[in-house]
Structure 1
Amino acid sequence: MILFLTIVSGLAWTVVYVDAIRIGFRDKSYAIPAAALGLNFAWEAVYASRSVATGISVQGIFNIAWGLADVVIVYTFLKFGRSELPPWVTRRLFVGWALLLGVTSFAVQLLFVVEFGWEDAARYAAFLQNLLMSGLFIAMFAARDGMRGQSVLIGVAKWIGTLAPTIVFGWFGNSTLILGVGALCSVFDLAYIGLLWWARSKPGSLASTAAR
């Protein structure tokens, strides 16, 4: 069961990243919120490197695949992200902010390792940044007034990709913290899916609401 759920999670998150790449180039935007993207890229770079060094596992294969996909998503952020910001944010400021975000993301991942050790750090960091991502997706929907740079597929795959390891590490692993944070992720993810579904099924609803 644990191997099955690990594969389900790995495939679901792979769908998230592949569709994020597709949507990013289609809409000339980036499909993963910036802070979550930085943390995810750092997490995958750190733990993919560790997988190569210590021996490849099923999870390690997914970590490597996700890290490679994240390189492309980071590219979409660097290429299109400046257009999402106010005019006073110059190209130089944008690059400086992106570098600071990247350095901070790697520092956070390594601090988790120092504090908790490799195994617990991977789990705690993953779930906490996952919850951050869930909230930031809703903020992205609000900031963009709709589905630009987003898709229902990303929302559903993220929910499934998080729910599976919540069961593995929270329920089977007897971790109240992971079970609780994973449950909160589901609450935010389902709310986000609901927003996307509403916007897709009633494409004029956002414009009509803003006009009131």
Structure 2
Amino acid sequence: MSLPATLLLEKIQQALRDAEIGLDPVELQAIIAGIIAGGVRLDERGWRTPFYELVNDGQKLPEAIYRQAQRLYRESAAKLAEGDFKFELLLPEDDDASLTQRLEALSLWTQAFLTAVAMVQPNLNKAPRDLKEMIDDLGAIAQVEANVDDNDDNEQAYVELTEYVKLVVVSCFTEYSSGNLEPKSKPTLH
């Protein structure tokens, strides 16, 4: 993310509040990541319809939210398409939130991601066994109990969970988005 996560989350929160949309800001990126990883064509239009459906009952969004969403879409799509696990989850940073708050945010992120993937990927139940198991794991992470002590062991477990969630996002993207990348340039006809 080009802005620090804290500032970006605050901007998104304000835009959501102004539009009276009851989402947590982490859910916005998770929905977009789920749409992308679920196999929607990576272009400037393909993601909008499912995004509007999930966020605002199919209605267009106020410009401030749309701009934030478009920015998240572009950054997320680019990072996932690059490979090499460059995609980052948009979550509160450890300096700004307790471990319990960060775990709650990860749970919300995971729930929103799973909802979006399920919406756009009709063959999710036919995923390869390894990917199905990973998706089931995300379901468990989405329901994790968030009342934990701030200590080194729990902090390490949280870091491992976030890395695992990123792995699942990248795995879904790899499975469902092959062939959906927007061409860099149009072929030249001779």
TM range (shorter): 0.3 to 0.5
Higher helix share: 1
TM-score norm. by structure 2 comes to: 0.34
TM-score norm. by structure 1 comes to: 0.32
